[in-house]
Amino acid sequence: MATHLDLEEQEQLDQLKHFWNTYGTLITWIVLLVAGAFVAWNGWNYFQRNKAAQASALYDEVERSAQAGDADRIERALGEMKSRFAGTVYAQQAGLLAAKTLNEKAKPEASRAALAWVADNAVDPGYKAIARLRLAAELLESKGYDEALQQLAAPVPKEFEPLVADRKGDVYLAQGKRDEAKAQYQKAWAAFDARNDYRRLVEIKLNAVGVDPKTLTAAPAASGKTSQ
């Protein structure tokens, strides 16, 4: 009986050896790859968390500098943010905040540079659109009309389209192009929700270029009847 069990165990052992000789290397590599992937994933998560924490701390520095009105300190902190954490949301927010403070501190070139950086490098399309709108406003103020229109020509998320049209109208009006301004204000007015407070401001601009918004509300109804 003992001999029979020994032979059976030996046979099982031989089968196990054969299996390991055939698939052992493959199994080892699979285990190593899975373990490596797990370690890499944990390492990546740690790196991202650490990076986010550092970016947050640097954003706090930009914010404190803005509150103190220290333009030089803002520029230094923003420069470090751009070089180390360019791909983070904190960098985009820092760029917008820095631009606002730099503009208030009579440093228009530095302000426009910060906005241009956000417009070109932001990951979030919403931040890109905000930067372009603000940059266009600053360029309009400095009579850089063509550059302002160039910024406003870039595609933006749909919810920003009325604001872009309104800003284009401002640029065209400053250039003395009343017809183009009128067309853009009408486009903005039509795109804004009727309950949006900003629409009232566009109505004032429309009145200034000789358009009664009431005529715009009547136009779709008239065209609807014709189409029927």
pLDDT in tens, 62-89: 889 888 888 999 899 999 988 888 888 8
The model's pLDDT over 170-187, given as tens digits with 9 standing for 90+, comes to 999 999 999 999 999 999
Q: Please report the pLDDT score of residue 6 as a whole number.
A: 66
Is 12 inside any structural domain? no
Tally of structural domains, the chain:
2
Q: Examine the domain organization and report whether 136 and 168 are in the same domain.
A: no
Is 180 inside any structural domain? yes
Q: Give me the chain's average pLDDT, please.
A: 82
Q: Examine the domain organization and report whether 108 and 179 are in the same domain.
A: no
* CA nearest to 177, candidates 188, 190, 165, 168: 168
Q: Examine the domain organization and report whether 107 and 186 are in the same domain.
A: no
The model's pLDDT over 33-68, given as tens digits with 9 standing for 90+, comes to 565 555 444 443 444 455 667 778 888 888 898 888
List of residues 6+ apart from 170 with CB closer than 8 A: 137, 140, 181, 205
The model's pLDDT over 119-137, given as tens digits with 9 standing for 90+, comes to 999 989 999 999 999 999 9
pLDDT exceeds 50 at position 20: yes
Question: pLDDT band for position 212 (50/70/90)?
Answer: confident
The model's pLDDT over 149-173, given as tens digits with 9 standing for 90+, comes to 999 999 999 999 999 999 999 999 9
Report, in angstroms and rounded to the nearest whole number, the Rg of the chain calculated over CA atoms: 31
Is 1 inside any structural domain? no
Q: Examine the domain organization and report whether 86 and 127 are in the same domain.
A: yes
Domain ranges, residue 178:
157-212
Longest Cα–Cα distance of the chain, Å, equals 111
